[in-house]
Amino acid sequence: MIESPNNEKIINYSKLKQKKYRDESSLFIVEGKHLVEEAKKNNLCVEEFILGENINEKAMRKLSNLDNVPTHLAVCKKMEEKEIHGNVLILDGVQDPGNLGTIIRSSVAFNIDTIILSLNTVDPYNDKVIRASEGMLFNINIIRGNLLEIIPKLNMDIYSTNVVNGKNLDEVEFKEPFALIVGNEGKGVSPEVQKLVNNNIYITMNNKCESLNVGVATSIILYEAERKIMHDK
């Protein structure tokens, strides 16, 4: 039973709250029984902590990001990046952890196989991303890299979200595999990435509203793509 927050292992693992240490060690933390189980199913669990069994509340609190200390917490190893395959979602600078988590959850729901994150997109192993993804993070291939190098090598239809020169989502025909690029919450897709793509999509909306939340816009397009692909089958 670990009883001190100053235990050497606890001190080291607690550093995983910071991206820098997650990057160095390729480890991250998941909290809550449901997420720990999802991680175990995927053989990612390195060490599990159970309150009152092998750790006390003080030490658990040192590891946890939550206000209410969880009963279960696990230190996990990051997933391996697999080759790009299937339908691809590309995120160019998404900053909000909640948005990234929501996007990962919707991506699994609507049969995206690979998510490619630009180097300036928020870390998917951030605790808020993992929570918002409801553990769906473990069910999809996630890659991080330089979009300007990766996108030109993709051999599929590539769509970007952009009102300028865009085609109404309702009129877009999707066939598998496809790639969709969505951008930063405030700035959208960056101009350099935009140059690599010819197919722009926009979602028609009431003119009182300038734009949708990026997680919502992404999810609507993925829903619509999946709906059309299923109709064609």
CA distances from 14 to 1, 42, 158 (A): 17, 23, 40
Q: Is 233 in the site for a second copy (CB under 8 A)?
A: no
Closest separation in Å from C-beta 21 to a second copy: 23
Q: Is 36 in the site for a second copy (CB under 8 A)?
A: no
Q: How many residues make contact with a second copy (CB under 8 A)?
A: 32
Which is nearest to 161 in space by CA: 141, 188, 123? 188
Backbone angles phi, psi at 135, to 5 degrees: 85, 0
Q: Which of 110, 125, 178, 202 touches a second copy (CB under 8 A)?
A: 110
Which is nearest to 70 in space by CA: 11, 19, 127? 127
* 3-class DSSP state of 97: helix
Closest separation in Å from C-beta 195 to a second copy: 28
Q: Is 108 in the site for a second copy (CB under 8 A)?
A: yes
- The residue range among 51-59, 75-83, 115-123, 197-205 that interacts with a second copy, by the rule CB under 8 A, is 197-205
Q: Which of 102, 150, 183, 202 touches a second copy (CB under 8 A)?
A: 102
Give 199's strand partners. Answer: 159
Distance, in Å, from the CA atom of 7 to the CA atom of 74, rounded to the nearest integer, reads: 16
Backbone angles phi, psi at 102, to 5 degrees: -60, -40
Q: Which of 5, 86, 98, 166 touches a second copy (CB under 8 A)?
A: 98
Q: Is 105 in the site for a second copy (CB under 8 A)?
A: yes
Q: Is 106 in the site for a second copy (CB under 8 A)?
A: yes
Distance, in Å, from the CA atom of 144 to the CA atom of 97, rounded to the nearest integer, reads: 15
Interface residues with a second copy (CB under 8 A)? 98, 102, 105-106, 108-111, 132, 134, 136, 139, 170, 203-206, 208-213, 215-216, 219-220, 223-224, 226-227, 230
